[in-house]
Chain A
Amino acid sequence: GAGVSQSPRYKVAKRGQDVALRCDPISGHVSLFWYQQALGQGPEFLTYFQNEAQLDKSGLPSDRFFAERPEGSVSTLKIQRTQQEDSAVYLCASSDPGTSGSPYNEQFFGPGTRLTVL
């Protein structure tokens, strides 16, 4: 079946612009995660959804970052008034022990969106 998809794959924004990044998780996956990966670093947790409920947003760096998953499937990460320090790859992941067939409940990652803020 299809994996996690993200769009756009690349986004260039001028400082101060708003951007929206989309994530399509694996069909039926209940859990959805967003991570931010700066150049040369490991991914860092941003936020977590279980179905449509945002259960953890402790990793969002500022109130300029907002995520939603209104119908419990597709999610959008929005960054308002982008700054240069927002430049990073934004990774989306989904998981669900009930449907993945794996005992480990591992997260399945998308290819990421590379955001460059000029």
Chain B
Amino acid sequence: AQKITQTQPGMFVQEKEAVTLDCTYDTSDPSYGLFWYKQPSSGEMIFLIYQGSYDQQNATEGRYSLNFQKARKSANLVISASQLGDSAMYFCAMRETLLTGGGNKLTFGTGTQLKVEL
């Protein structure tokens, strides 16, 4: 089974609108973290937001928020007030703590290509 599943290969959104990028995950580790990264065409991965498995509240960072539904094992990224500069590839990733002995490596999904239109 895939550890991280991103079912939307591509998404379009109008400028200034909100968009939700889906991510589901699979793990038996009780202690894990979920990350979202943005990868523009330049190639560098940019960290956006983090959600820990024990966090009681959904994470927020500026225009980014994470809709964390632990029972459903989903961690969807919500981008509010989309901007042209948000056009990029977005990756959901998971860090499992106990199963990897605290090694901190990330497992990534296949990504969602977001295109913001005027």
Contact = CB atoms under 8 A, between A and B. Distances in A.
Interface of A: 31, 33, 35, 40-45, 48, 55-56, 59, 89, 91, 93, 95, 104-112, 114
Contacts, number: 60
Contacts of B103: 48, 55-56
Interface of B: 4, 33, 35, 37, 42-47, 50, 91, 93, 100, 103-111
A45 B110 contact: no
For the complex of A and B, the 3 pairs showing the least CB-CB separation, nearest first, are A42-B108, A109-B45, A104-B50
Given A42-B91, A109-B44, A112-B44, A95 B105 contact: no
A contact face: mostly helix, strand, loop, or mixed:
strand
A96 B44 CA distance: 19
A42 B110 contact: yes
Interface centre among B43, B50, B108, B110 (most CB of A within 10 A): B43
A45 B104 contact: no
A105 B37 CA distance: 14
A93 B45 contact: yes
A64 B91 CA distance: 28
A95 to B, nearest CB: 7
B105 A112 contact: no
